[in-house]
Structure 1
Amino acid sequence: MPRPSSPLLSPEIIGSAGLALARAGEPFGVNAIARELGVRPSSLYNHVDGMDGILELMRGELVEGYRVEWHGEPWDEFVLAVLRTQRRMYADHPQLVPLLVGKTITHPAVIAAYDDLASVLVDGGFPDDEVLSVIAVIDAFAIGFGLDLASPDEVWQPEGGTRTLGRLIDGAERGSARSDRTFELGVGLLLDSLRARLVGTPPVTGQASSRF
């Protein structure tokens, strides 16, 4: 029997199949991926180390699709691009967030993306002993605002009287307009704080830079 012109299974094929099932709202465990690919579940174990391995392959496929390449721009412009892209990535895949945040990152493509970010921050002047903390802040910001973008149009709906919140809700934007406005305020505050920390001066609280 002739060999197939392309491999039936590979880590990339398995990761892509799992991600496609997740995007469709379908189960994406070992059995589900095997059915999707038309193979026996045991065949997957020749390429992955169980469900943890599948999740890491899915993470790699996901990040590859939202990768931000550095082209020599200043660190704050690169961080802004990363935040915008990761926000969209997490908003597009909110069901994967709790599964991925509890797993150690090992996929080469994801490690490379973090290495780019770390290198840009170090080259931008951040001290080595703060860079991982800054990256963690960026991650938390992107995840939080990604989930916020995926939240319902009505975030708050008081059932009783309020002193202030109800009045503010009545005049506020809804849906993606609210989320976009909040993100722009937050990203301005974050970048202003990072710039201020870099030069050793306290940020001006509540006033975001007009640069972005």
Structure 2
Amino acid sequence: MARPKVPLLSVDRIADAALELVDSGAPFGVNALARKLGVTPSSLYNHVDGRDGIIELMRGRFAAEAGAQLHDGPWDEIVAETLRAQRRMYARHPNLVPLIVGKTITDPFVIASYDHLASTLVAAGFPDDEVLGVIALLDAFAIGFGLDLASPHDIWQPDGETQTLGRLIADAPHGDERSDRAFELGLDLLVESLRGRLARTRG
């Protein structure tokens, strides 16, 4: 029998299949992924470094597909662009969040993105001993609003009368529009707070 012209496995195919598996809500693991690909678990280890390696493949893949780019510009524009890109990627793959938050980041593309953000903040004047804390704050913000974008069309549904909440819900947008408005409001508040902290640091 002739050998197939296209290899049965590749890093790209493994990453795609792993994301499909996680997005489906099925339990994730090396054995489950091997079954999905129709190969033995040992075959996967020829291409990836076990479960952690597969998670990093997915992290790098979804970061790239979200359109995160390393642009130069004012620090506040870089922060806003980074948060919008991160929100998109978390919203597209909400089931992946518990896997990646429990795994040390090693993917070269993602490391380069964080390095660019850290360098931007340091160059803007944020103290070295605060930059990692600011990045952690930005990460938490992006994860929260990424999951919010994947939330139900209606967030609140009171059964009875309320003092204020019911009226606000009736007058407010729903679905993606609600999430987009809340994100942009939160982004404005966050960036404005960082501007104020930076001004106090410089003063």
Q: Normalising by structure 1, what TM-score?
A: 0.84
The answer to whether the 8 A contact 2:70-2:113 is kept is no
Q: Which runs of 5+ in 1 are unaligned?
A: 202-212
In structure 2, stretches of 5+ residues that fail to align are none
Which has the higher mean CA deviation after the structures are superposed, 122-131 or 26-35? 26-35
Q: Supply the distance in 1 between the matched residues of 2:150 and 2:114 (Cα, whole angstroms).
A: 24
- Measured in 2, the distance between the counterparts of 1:176 and 1:63 equals 21
Which AA in structure 2 matches 1:86? Q
CA deviation after TM superposition for structure 1 residue 106, in Å: 1.4
Matched, 1:78 2:78: yes
Distance 1:116 1:13 in 2: 29
1:146 matched to 2:146? The reply is: yes
SS in 2 for 1:89: helix
CA distance in 2, matches of 1:192, 1:136: 17
What letter corresponds to residue 159 of structure 1 in structure 2?
D
Give the match for residue 93 of structure 1.
93
Give, in angstroms, the shift of residue 47 of structure 1: 3.0
Which region of structure 1 is more displaced relative to structure 2, 181-190 or 118-127? Answer: 118-127
Contact 1:67 1:113 in 2 (8 A): no
> In 2, distance between residues paired with 1:123 and 1:67?
24
Contact 2:34 2:41 in 1 (8 A): yes
- The 1:179/1:103 distance shift into structure 2, 3 A limit, reads same
CA RMSD of aligned residues (A): 2.2
Q: Distance in 1 between matches of 2:77 and 2:119?
A: 14
- 2:163 pairs with 1:163: yes
User: C-alpha displacement at 1:26, in angstroms?
Assistant: 5.0
- 1:136 has 2:136 as partner: yes
- TM normalised by structure 2 equals 0.88
Q: Give the structure 2 partner of residue 102 of structure 1.
A: 102
In 2: Cα distance, 1:3 partner to 1:67 partner: 37
Partner Cα separation in structure 1 for residue 153 and residue 198 of structure 2: 37
Which runs of 4 or more aligned residues in structure 1 lie more than 6 Å from their structure 2 counterparts after TM superposition?
none
Distance in 1, Cα, partners of 2:2 & 2:115: 42
Q: Name 2:69's counterpart in structure 1.
A: 69
Give 1:43's aligned amino acid.
Answer: S
Deviation for aligned residue 1:32: 3.4
Question: How far is the alpha carbon of 1:122 from its aligned partner?
Answer: 1.2
Residues 25-46 of structure 1 show CA distances to partners (whole Å, capped at 9, x for unaligned) of: 5554323322343321221123
Aligned: 1:44 with 2:75 = no
Return the structure number with greater helix share. 2
For the structure 1 residues 3 and 199, does the alpha-carbon distance in structure 2 shift closer, same or farther, using more than 3 Å as the test?
Answer: farther
Please say if 1:18 is aligned against 2:18.
yes
CA shift digits 1:159-207 (9 cap, x unpaired): 2332221221121111111111111110000011111111118xxxxxx
Residues 54 and 70 of structure 1: CA distance in aligned 2, closer, same or farther (over 3 Å): closer
Equivalent position of 2:111 in the other structure: 111
What whole-Å deviation, never above 9, does each CA across 1:74-98 have from its counterpart, x for those lacking one?
1111111111111111111111112
Contact 1:125 1:198 in 2 (8 A): yes
